[in-house]
Chain A
């Protein structure tokens, strides 16, 4: 469009009569543009101020409220949180987002194409929790029986040693306290078992079990360090009702025998020690 009169023949010749548009002879053309227009071109006239009024204020507030509200609705699809470098303990107990990319709200599936439905896989956790209750159900019952037996035995002891009442009271109190502690610890153990973690050894419980009589109640132990070498949860719950031999087995500390799940001897087991 601009002049094509090369080699200085005529000063910018154009395809149409320049005079008709209004550029007279001798007038200089405006400079040709060599770069894109500036990002914020200067404005000759200042813009009119924005509208004000109750209506405008209300709509402004509405707009900001809507923006905020939409962020909290289930329709706002947040991108999956990036995986942290190390797994944290709290990750297990924080439900961050729906499972397996499923949606938080329930659309009416009759109105949507079938292909849009996301199948949610069942959690693997459910399977392990199914097995534990069998043991759990036995545990509280056993512990209740143990507590009752302890109480009856206490009473027997009271009758036997009625002379040393003062000391006995202290002992009783001590035992009651210990019992209460045992209760708490038993509950703690139950809770820990529910979570699938091995409970810590409660030495007092073992002591009482040992003291209370020749026939120790079949209390389940779950020693973390005495569990199966592979730390499989099943082996940890193996009861020690059998007669034990060697080592600390009199305290019932070491469960004996092979782990029923992975068929290996436990590390503290006398038999495994024989094998070296």
Chain B
């Protein structure tokens, strides 16, 4: 956990959960596993506040607890999970593209609430959809449940670890913390619920429905006293699966950019076939035969088998090595080299960053070094066809920013400087880490700047909110145009200009945060793929 990561985590927690949760979360990230009393002592907050914050963090899967042998419970916060908060909009948007509005709302509810039971989630989503529908129409629970089941089948949502069943007859006192067990088999099994019902609208203006409403509310209270049939089975969003999807998307678009649409479709088909069979950090997918790929191509594509074979050969021979040939049976066995693909994507990101920051000539030197691995000063000038002085200057600039590093190769055992080779090289892994750290820093800076801008104009924002509220209430009660105009004029023209500026700036900063997050994703996936998991 670098300083930049900790700072970003604390900013994210503060924005989404408030100051108290932020203090405790940051403390846990910095210091690792701690029991409750130590946290309260170190942060100087009251025990009640610490308990509240821990409940919230555990509910959102940001903190895990463990029962130690001595009998006390320790809490731990993994930094990486907190950083995912930045990516929530992307997850929700992905769900929307795959499963339309219902999927989007289900994933949104699960992310906002941490974990929920299926019945609660379906109910909430149905209510929300009903409110957006026209008057008189309601959303049926059945449709929402179907979408829920589909999300579970494709592993986008998963079950949380289960709490042990409490047996009434146990003599021993209950343990201070339940040990939650992960049941691999049942992770995506949807309980067999018979959810019948329709979404309810929140009516605030209808007087006629008040009587019915009260009766309904009473009934609902009676229902909520009985435990729902899927009590204890909680669902959460499966972040890893979303990451897998993003990775696949990136690979497909890279192939489309490099070659053409058809080859990207072929790669997409191959990835889809190996979605569930390959684990998320496998170096390559399971081998797929050309016949299988041909059968699984989407229905709209009419390419002949021979053309498919040609495409596959082309992909396998490409120097980027996205696709590799692993055998000849079944018309040729092909795999997708996931780790290599991630490395290529990260390298492409690096190149693009060098180009935008230092210019295209520096980028040429950088690409040269990537290709040739190690080069001396003289060789760089020769290969890049750049005059010596400029080449020197560019190399030093990149060296000072740590994109390029020096490798010493001594000729004599005494390492005399006059008799040592000094070779420039690019170490992609370390450059990627350095850039990732820089990305975290930039997002933290962006958030700070946005908060500063909002704070500066707080008074103006509040005034505009009030004016809007007044306008809305007056329009509801039916006011004349003149009156409405008068109220609108309460905000003067320069103030309006200021508000416009503020809105534009805040939008820009938010969009930049989203974009930096995409870079963070690519770099992080690459770094994770290189870490060998034991």
Contacts and interface: CB of A to CB of B under 8 A. Distances in A.
Interface stretch (A12-20, A83-91, A214-222): A12-20
Nearest to A19: B418
A79 B18 contact: yes
Interface string A15-56: 111001111000000000000000000001101101100011
Q: Sorted from nearest, which 3 A-B pairs have the closest CB atoms?
A: A16-B417, A113-B177, A101-B48
A45 B353 CA distance: 11
B308 interface: no
Contact of B178 (A20, A59, A60, A110): A110
Contacts of A56: 511, 514-515
Interface in A62-97: 62-64, 66-67, 69-70, 73, 75-79
A21 B377 contact: yes
B163 interface: yes
Given A15-B417, A22-B395, A111 B514 contact: no
**SS of A interface (majority):** loop
A108 interface: yes
B356 interface: yes
A114 interface: yes
B52 A103 contact: yes
Interface in B354-404: 356-359, 376-377, 388, 392, 395
Q: Give the size category of B's interface with A.
A: 35 or more
8 contacts: A45-B357, A47-B356, A50-B512, A66-B88, A66-B89, A70-B17, A73-B113, A77-B56
B293 interface: no
Contacts of B358: 44-45
Interface string B194-224: 0000000000000000000000000000000
Nearest to B165: A110
A44 B510 CA distance: 24
Contacts of A67: 15-16
A115 B52 contact: no
Nearest to A23: B392
Nearest to A113: B177
A45 B19 CA distance: 39
Interface in B44-73: 46, 48-49, 51-56, 58-60, 65, 67, 73
A107 interface: yes
Given A22-B392, A115-B36, A107 B507 contact: no
Contacts of A114: 174, 176-177
Contact of B49 (A51, A64, A101, A111): A101
A190 to B, nearest CB: 25
A141 interface: no
Given A48-B356, A60-B511, A62-B89, 7 more contacts: A15-B417, A50-B508, A51-B515, A64-B510, A67-B15, A107-B58, A113-B67
